[in-house]
Structure 1
Amino acid sequence: MLAPVADVAAWAESLDQLLECQTGQLVFEDFLRTEYSEENLLFWRACEGYKKIADEAELAVAAKRIFVEFVQVDALRQINIDCVTRGEISGNLSRPGPGCFDRAQRLIRRLMENDCYPRFLKSEIYQALLERP
């Protein structure tokens, strides 16, 4: 699972660089787990998969699953979003479209970019990968 050091160094360029790399996502998820905030990345990833679903029935099932796992109050992996966004998603569940979670996904991405990602770059996990031979 070790990525070349050049790839690891590229993760520091932007959160996008990190998220575009499968190994980067896994390492970031490990880091987030140490901070008890892996639900952010898991939600972001679920939204990315959700947007690729073309079948309406499948979309509805996936929307409900994402809502139950991440969005509803007291969800097992509840994400930190405002009640307006939570309510908007809840209202969209009767006829969920591909953009059902876009606003929440943007909020969570911004949270990761401004909060978790800078700490990740300073973390022992990331620094150890950068410094290996």
Structure 2
Amino acid sequence: MCKGLSSLPSSCLGRAKDLRVKLSHLAEAHNKHKFQDGKALQDLETLLINKSGLQAFRGFLRSEFSEENLDFWLACEDYRVSPSTMQKIKSSSIYNQFINPDAPQEVNLDAETREALLSVTESPCAETFNQAQQRIYNLMAKDSFPRFLRSPHAMITIKAF
């Protein structure tokens, strides 16, 4: 019958505790030192500006059935740098693709943000999607990106750099 940890000599317990502390420090260091172009891969922004990082993140999001978040964010980036003559067309396309409740790639936005977008789609400007884009970016940064870092997709990305 097992007598528990109290039956072990104190020297064994002390060594086990030391090993546990060292292993936790190693695991923490491993997560902090995933490098990308000499920089630690610690933020989503760094990942999104690199072509292979973006592809790996897309693959990860696809595996989680949330690729629409990245597609929306990229569409907003494209919209922001588009000439004003194209904004009305692109605004309508983004709304129909991602915002409309029946959209094929509907993103998860709160009702207030969705209503605000509906009211400005008739007269869009360069900042039309800024708030919605920031909300989706925050969602990816706080939710998807940390899971990505723990996934095999991140390991492939790191090896590619």
- TM-score bracket, normalised by the shorter chain, equals 0.7 to 0.9
After the TM superposition, which residues 1-133 of structure 1 pair with which residues of structure 2 at under 5 Å, given as runs? 6-7=35-36, 10=39, 12-56=41-85, 58-130=86-158
> 2: distance between equivalents of 1:54 and 1:128?
37
One-letter amino acid of the structure 2 residue matched with residue 40 of structure 1: N
> 2: distance between equivalents of 1:38 and 1:84?
23
Q: TM-score, normalised by structure 1?
A: 0.88
Identify unmatched segments of 5+ residues in structure 2.
1-33
Identity %: 32
Identify unmatched segments of 5+ residues in structure 1.
none
One-letter amino acid of the structure 2 residue matched with residue 75 of structure 1: A
Is the radius of gyration larger for structure 1 or structure 2? Answer: 2
> 1: distance between equivalents of 2:87 and 2:146?
34
Q: TM-score, normalised by structure 2?
A: 0.73
Q: SS of the residue aligned with 1:69?
A: helix
> 2: distance between equivalents of 1:62 and 1:19?
22
Q: Is the 8 A contact 2:56 2:156 kept in 1?
A: no
> 2: distance between equivalents of 1:33 and 1:8?
25
One-letter amino acid of the structure 2 residue matched with residue 64 of structure 1: S
C-alpha RMSD over aligned residues: 1.9
